[in-house]
Amino acid sequence: MNKHINQEVCENCGKQIVDGLHNCCDFIAKNNNYTDEQDTIEAIPKSGKDLRDFRQAMSKAFLQTQISLEHMVYLDKKSWSESHELSKFIFGSADRQMLFWMFAIDPIGEGFSPKTAAQYLRRDRTSVSKELSTMHDLQLIYRNTKEGFQRYYLPSKKLTDSALWFAEYYVDVTLRVTEEPARDRFFKYREAEQSFFKDLNKRGRDAQ
């Protein structure tokens, strides 16, 4: 079935407007065609390509700040892992990192068993069980002694204190990189972009 296309005619140029797509009267055209040369706004896009190039340039500049952030975190984790047994275990893999963060959930209820931890992480139970044993040996977790929950583990104060420290570390290192204008600029642009298209999609749904 062919999609129905809504067509209108522009009152200014007489050209067809297809599904609201037309550019003779947008801000670019007005600035280019409907103002005297001395009144033209400078440093403004002159085409859709300019807008795409503008976004691409911001995105690429942001990427460089992200690389700086990842590099700093990588070097810190590498250094900690070479000096501390706890860090060596936690940062040994992405799976272990998430296992560590999982036990910092608050409230944690009766804790996690090998089965419930595997379900939460979407991993196989055997490998999770082995890593829970290692965490127990490192005194990061301890057995729940409550009746019916003896197979469950709870976080030690050592784990929750470490998780809080790492969380604050991430805040500090992120703020350090966010001071870069290119990073803050793209965050704000992306926020505006998301807000615009969210509203646009909502208006489209309401109109149906």
Domain membership flag for residue 58:
no
Q: At which residue do the structure tokens 């977790």 appear?
A: 141
The CATH code of the domain that includes 73 is: 1.10.10.10
- pLDDT over 90 at 38, yes or no: no
Containing domain of residue 29, as a range? 1-44
72 and 171 share a domain? Answer: yes
Domain membership flag for residue 136:
yes
Which one has a higher pLDDT value, 202 or 33? 202
Domain membership flag for residue 33:
yes
169 and 111 share a domain? Answer: yes
pLDDT at residue 194, rounded to an integer = 94
How many domains does one find in the chain? 2
pLDDT band at 49 (very low <50, low <70, confident <90, very high): confident
115 and 155 share a domain? Answer: yes
User: Which two three-digit tokens encode residue 120?
Assistant: 């939460």
Domain membership flag for residue 205:
no
Per-residue pLDDT tens digits for 64-86: 999 999 999 999 999 999 999 99
151 and 77 share a domain? Answer: yes
- pLDDT over 60 at 183, yes or no: yes
Q: pTM score, two decimals? A: 0.74
Per-residue pLDDT tens digits for 98-122: 999 999 999 999 999 999 999 999 9
- pLDDT over 50 at 16, yes or no: yes
